[in-house]
Amino acid sequence: MDINTTGTMTHVRTQVREERTTSPGAVPQWSDLVDATWREARQHSRGKTTQLDSQHRDLYTAAFSDLTRESVARPTRDLLDDLATEFGLAWVDLSRMVGVSVPAIRKWRMDGGASPENHERVAQVWAFLTALRQHLHVGDPVTWLTRRLEPGFAVTVKHLWAPERAGLLLDLAAGGTTATQVLDRIDPQWQDTYTTSDEVVMFDDGMPAIVQRG
């Protein structure tokens, strides 16, 4: 294989160019060998891209894990205070992300007493928001979390949240992947699951309302 640093094959390119040059304006003459070589090169390039994506996400996952380890050492109450006063996260959103009730969060905030598993889940949300802010410079992580991912589909990042997806979602925030790619990976049926002909807009009374998409 004669592949340069950008993943293209110089000799194949030259060959095709030569064919074009010898027949100006004509479709290049078919060659099974050239076709197969191009095919192989593209497959190699896709494989390389997948590998790079995965390795880059591993970096995000590692950063998330480091922040989780750091935050697990703190009391649950402190983490909840941070989530409220530093990030502006509503309890109802935290309860859905962590999978517990709002009264449970209220109790932990006043009296502590979260189980180690629930404490870790709260710490993971804190770590994710902190990674967004510190490493990816997302100014307002909670607003980013509640942003609609695709027009016409009722799904946001907070609905997709799970600790094992932290690397992928951080990659989305960094622009390394698209919302469609993330959704395809997490829920291949997402176009059926989340599709809606309605949307929420600010109505003329200044409050949100559900209307048909225009």
Partner 1 sequence: MPESLDPLLPPGRLYDHRSSGHVPLVLPYHQGDVFTGVDLAGLPEVSNADEHLAMLFMHPCTMRDAGGALREFVTVVRVTRQSATKVLADPVHWERNYKVMPLPDLYETGKGTHAADFMQIATVASAALPRTHRVAQLSADGRLLMQQRIVFHLTRHAPLLRLFEQAVAHIEAEAQYQADWVEAGTARTPVADVNLAQVEALEHEAQEYLGNSRAPDSLRNQLAVESSRAAATRTIQLEIARRYPRPGTL
Q: How far is the CB of 205 from partner 1 (least distance, A)?
A: 9
d(CA 79, CA 122): 7
Task: Determine the number of helices (DSSP H) and then strands (DSSP E) in the chain.
Answer: 11, 4
Which tokens belong to 147? 């942003």
Q: Which residues bind partner 1 (CB under 8 A)?
A: 77, 81, 84-92, 95-96, 101-103, 106, 110, 140, 142-143, 146-147, 154-155, 159, 194-200, 202, 206-210
Q: Which is nearer to partner 1, 41 or 149 (CB)?
A: 149
Q: How far apart are CA 182 and CA 174, in angstroms?
A: 13
32 phi and psi, to 5 degrees?
-60, -35
Paired tokens of 173: 């925030």
Considering the complex, what minimum distance in angstroms separates the CB of residue 94 from partner 1? 10
User: Which of residues 24 and 139 has its CB atom nearest to partner 1 in the complex?
Assistant: 139
Question: Is the CB of 2 or the CB of 198 nearer to partner 1?
Answer: 198
Of 57 and 126, the one with the shorter C-beta distance to partner 1 is 126
Give, as one character, the DSSP assignment of residue 114.
Answer: -
Other CB atoms within a 10 A radius of the CB of residue 214 amount to 5
Specify the residue, 66 or 198, whose C-beta has the smaller distance to partner 1: 198
Closest approach of partner 1 to the CB of residue 128, in Å: 15
**Contact partners, residue 112, CB within 8 Å, separation at least 6:** 75, 76, 77
CA distance 122 to 80: 8
As measured in angstroms, the least distance from the Cβ of 158 to partner 1 is 10
CB of 22 to partner 1, least distance (A): 57
Closest CA to 136 of 84, 66, 63: 63
